[in-house]
Structure 1
Amino acid sequence: MYQILKTRSESTFRKYSNNENKPAVLSCSRSVWRFPLIVNLEFSTEFRVHKEANEFLNYLAVTVNNDLTRKKYIVDASLSVCIWLNFIYYFDNTEYSQRSEWNVSSSVLMRFRVYLQSIGNLSDSRVEEYVMWAHRFYWYLDHIRFEGGSGIIGVNKPEKKQMYPIYVHPGKGTWPFLIPNTPSILKEAKPAKTFWDDWCFAIETAAGSNNPIGTRDALMMELIQTFSIRREELITMEIDAFSERAPSSSEITEMQIQLSKSKNDRRKGTVGRIVNGPKEVYIRVQKFIKTSRKLFIKSGVKDRAVFLSKRSGKRFIGTSLSAELQRKYGVSPQDGRKVSATQLFINYLDQGLQEKTAMLLVAEHLGHSKKTEGKTLQASYLQAMVIRDIRSSKNIKEQLDVISNENMELQIELKRHKAEILSLESQLSQFKK
C-alpha cells in the first residue's frame, strides 16, 4: 500500500527536483519538520516512489509563500493523495479494465467521496478537503506540469467537442475550478443539499400521513419526479390537464400532460410543453381531483389549479411551495428534478446509450434550453454512474455468494460420495476375505 515516509526535506527535494537552491519548505514556523515522501514499498525499487505525486508536493513547496500555509498544504495534500492512490488500487470494489490512477473519471472520484464518508470518523469538511486535493493533483498534472493539458481534467465544452474524464466547473483563484455539486447517496451522510434518499423519504412520509394535505404533498412530489416538471409548471397546472380518461389496457403505461407555458418559451400565443409520465400517477391525480381536492376549496374562491393552498384556497406561489416542502420534509422542488434526471440517466445507460445521447434525451425530457451549460445534468449523470457502479458491485457480490454456497454444497456432496466409496471398499474387502 502507499504510505508517507518522513524524509529530510532538503535531500528529498534535491533528489526529485531540478531546482538546486535550498527549498523554502525548510522554514516552516521555525519548527523541525521532515518533508513527506509518497511511496509504495510493495513495488520494486524502481517504482516505489510515486514520481508525479511527489513532484506535486515539491510544486507546493516552492509556490506557497506563507510558512504555516505551506506546511498545512503539503501535509494535507500528501495525506489526501496517498489515501486516493490506496483507494484506487486497494479499496475501490468496482471492476476495472485497467486499474490505474491515470484511468479515472469523475464517477471514480464520487465513489472516493462515498468511501471516505463510509469510514465514519471523518467530518464532512474533511471529506470534501480530501476530494478537493485529489482534483488539485490532477489539475497540476494536466494544466501546470504539462503545458496545454493532456485531457484528464477540465471544463466540458460539447460545442467544441472538448470532453474530460474528470469534469469541473470554471472558477477563479489559484486553482481555477469548482467541483460539481454531487451530494452523497449514503443515508447516513448529511450533504449540504438533499438529493436522492431524502426526496424518496419525503414522499414516503407525506403518503404515510393518511390525511388530505399529506396526499396532496406526496402527489406534488411524485409529479415533479416522474414527469420531470418544474415548480412553476406544477403550480400553474390546471385540472383540465387530467381530463383525458386513462386507457384500461395494461400495454399503455404512460400518459401525457399538457403543461402551461414554459419559462423558456417567451413567444406570444405559445403553449407549454407536453410531458410523459407513469399512468398510475396520472390516475392518482385524477382521483385526488375528484375527492381530496374539494377539501381545499374556499367559498367565493375560484381557482382551477390542481393543487391548492389549505390556507387561501388558491394555487401556490413559487416561494410558498418551496418553503412548505422545505419546512415539512426538508426538500425542495429542484431536488425532485435532480432525482428524475438521475433515474432517467440510469435507465438510458442500462439500455446501452452513450453519454452524449443520454444527455440529449434527458435534457429534452426535462425541458432544458439548448443554451444551458448542463451543470445540473452533469451532476445527475455522475450520480447515476455511481449508483450503477454500486449496484453492479452488489450484483457481483451476490453472484459470488451464490457460487460460494454452491461450492460448499458440492464439497458436502463430495465428502458424502467419498464416505460411500470408503464404505463400499470396506464391504468389498470383507467379501474377498
Structure 2
Amino acid sequence: MTREARDAYTKIPCEVCWLGDQRLKAVPFVFDRNGTPFEPINAWVRENLVQWTKKGIRQQGEAPARNFDQKVSRVVSFLNFLDANGRSWDEPTQDYLYLFVSTVEKKERAAETLNALTSAIFDFYWTRQEAGFCSRVIGINDVDQDDYRNPLHVHPSRNPKRDYDNPMTRRGKNRTSRTSITQNEEWEYALERALDSGTALGARDGVLISFILQTGARRLEAASLETSDFEKTVDPNKKEVIINVDTKIYESRDLVIPVEAYREVQDFIRDERPDLISNPRKDLGFVFCSTDKKNGAALTKSYISRRLKNIYGISPHDGRSTFATNEMIEHYRNGLDMDTAMLLVRERMGHSANDEAARTLRQHYLQAKALVQAEEAGSKLDKARKEIAELRAMMADKDRELEELRRILPATTTTR
C-alpha cells in the first residue's frame, strides 16, 4: 500500500481469494498511516469471513455482509478519534467513548444508528481481547470479584447466549439517550428565538425554557407552578428559593430554584403574563398558562413537548439531562467523588433511589468528567500552541536582526 493516509487508520476495500475458488470483492481491510496492515481489525474481518461462508455466499464474488463493513467503519472512526486525542487504539476508556458518541450524536440522533455504533466498538474490543490483541481493556467491573476497574466496561448479560449487555443502548426508535450530553447551545439558541419574538407568548416560552434549564424541572412540575408560588420577596443574601411542586400523581417534592430563575418568573408574571389573560377575575393562576381560553389554565405535558419540539427543536427531557450533566460538571470541578455527586444530583432532580436512576446519574457523571478532561486537555494544547507561536515570533525577530547585522557588516568593512 503506497497511499498516504491522513488518519491513523484507513479502511480500504480489497479483493481476496477465499476457499480456493472464490474471489471476494470489497472485503474491508484496514491499514495504518504507514501503510502497514492493522492486524487487530484484519484478523476480526477474517474471523467474520468464516461466519459469512457458513451462512452461504450466494454468488461468486459477492461482497461480505454490508452490516459488517459498516461495523469496521464505525470501529475505525473511533480508533481515529482516540489517535486524535493522543491515545493508542488499545487505550480506550468509557469517558472517551461517551465523548466520541456525543460528537456523532450532533449529526445522527437515530437510536438505531447510535446503538449500532457502540455495539460495534464493544464487540471489537471484547473479541480482540479474547484473541490476545489487548489485555484488561474491556470487562464487567465487579469489585467483589476483582479490584481492577476495566477502562471500557459493559453490563452482565441477562441473556445466557450473550457475553455481556451494551450499557449505552438507547431505548425506542429515534430517541436520544436519556443521558445525552449537554445541549446548552441548542437551548440557549431556543431561548434567544423565543425572546426575540417580542410577544407575550414568546416571553412565556422563553421563561419556560430558561426555567427547565436552570432547575431540571419535569414538564408536570413546570406546568403546576402557580403565580402565588412567586410572591415571596427574595432575600439578597440567598442564592436559591425552595418551593413545593407537583411531580407525579399524588406526589410532590421540593424544587430548588436559583434566585436568578425565580426573579425571571416574577418579571414575567408582572410584565408579560397579563397579556395572556382576558379576564383577571377568572384567572386560574398558573404561571405558564394556556392561550386557548386566556383564563390562566395550566399547560399540559403533551403541549409543552409539542411546543418546544415543533417551534424550537428541543425536548424537555433533554433540558433536564443537560441540567444534570451541568450539575455533575460543577461537582467534578469541585473535587467531589462520583457517589457524593450522584447523591446531590439525585436529590436536586427528585430521582427515585433505584438501579435505573443510579445508572443514569453515573453516566451523567462520566460524561461530565469526560467534558472537563477534554476541556482541560484543549486548554493545555492551546497554551502550548500559543507558546510555540511566541517562540517562532521571537526567532523571526532574531533572524531579522541577524540579517540586518549581516547587511551592515560588509558596508562597515568597505568603509575602513
1:61 aligns with 2:50: yes
Matches within 5 A, 1:40-51: 40=32, 42=34, 50-51=39-40
Q: Is the 8 A contact 2:118 2:166 kept in 1?
A: no
- Superposed, 1:358-373 pairs within 5 Å as 358-373=341-356
Is the 8 Å Cα contact of residues 56 and 140 (structure 1) preserved in structure 2?
Answer: no
Instruction: Count residues in correspondence.
Output: 384
Residue deviations 1:47-70, cap 9 Å, x none? x65247614741563388533696
> 1:359 Cα deviation (Å)?
2.5
Distance in 2 (alpha carbons) for counterparts of 1:306 and 1:157: 48
Q: Does the CA contact (< 8 Å) of 1:199 and 1:335 recur in 2?
A: no
Please point out which of 347, 361, 375 is paired with 1:377. Answer: 361
How is 1:288-327 mapped onto 2 (pairs within 5 angstroms)?
A: 288-299=268-279, 301-312=282-293, 313-327=296-310
Partner residue of 2:201?
Answer: 213
Is 2:227–2:269's contact at 8 Å kept on the other side of the alignment? yes
Cross-structure match for 1:263 = 248
1:379-418 Cα offsets, whole Å, 9 max, x none, are: 5345434543553454344324422331232123213432
Determine whether 1:200 maps to 2:188. Answer: yes
> Which of the residues 248, 254, 262 maps onto 1:273?
254
Q: TM-score, normalized by length of structure 2? A: 0.74
CA–CA separation in structure 1 for the residues paired with 2:352 and 2:307? 28
Q: Say if 1:57 and 1:78, in contact at 8 Å, map to a contact too.
A: no
Aligned counterpart for 1:283 among listed residues 260, 263, 268:
263
Identity %: 22
The Cα offsets for residues 356-383 of structure 1, whole Å up to 9 and x where unpaired, read as 3333322222121111413443453454
**Which residue is 1:246 aligned to?**
234
Amino acid at match of 1:407: L
1:33 partnered with 2:24: yes
Which residue identity does 1:152 align to in structure 2? I
Query: Amino acid of the residue matched to residue 297 of structure 1?
Result: I
Distance 1:130 1:274 in 2: 37
Aligned to 1:337: 320
Tell me how far apart the structure 2 counterparts of residues 377 and 322 of structure 1 sit (CA, whole Å).
23
**How far off is 1:318 after superposition?**
1.9
Cα deviation 1:189-246 (Å, max 9, x = unaligned): xx85497143332222112111111111111111111112111211112223323222
RMSD: 4.2
Q: Deviations over 1:134-183 (max 9, x none)?
A: 222124356x769xx957255x7899999754455767686863463689
Equivalent of 2:123, from 133, 136, 144?
A: 136
Q: Structure 1 residues 166 and 357 mapped into 2: Cα distance closer, same or farther (>3 Å)?
A: farther
C-alpha displacement of 1:298: 4.4
Aligned equivalent of 1:17: none
Instruction: Give the gaps of 5 or more residues in structure 2.
Output: 1-7, 59-63
For residue 76 of structure 1, what is the amino acid of its counterpart? Q
1:72 corresponds to: 66
1:103 and 2:97 aligned: no
Which segment is superposed worse, 1-10 or 158-167? Answer: 158-167
Partner of 1:410: 394
One-letter code aligned to 1:358: A
Check 1:232–1:77 CA distance in 2 against 1; reply closer, same or farther (3 A cut). closer
Residues 166/321 of structure 1: CA separation in 2 closer, same or farther (3 Å cut):
same
CA contact (8 A) 1:237 1:305 kept: yes
Secondary structure at the residue paired with 1:259? Answer: strand
Contact 1:241–1:257 (8 Å) recurs in 2: no
Matched-pair contact (CA < 8 Å) for 1:153–1:166: yes
SS in 2 for 1:177: coil
User: Judging changes above 3 Å, is the alpha-carbon distance between structure 1 residues 103 and 258 closer, same or farther for their aligned structure 2 residues?
Assistant: same
- Aligned mates of 1:127, 1:373 — CA distance in 2: 20
Residue 321 and residue 348 in structure 1: after superposition, are their counterparts in 2 closer, same or farther (change >3 A)? same
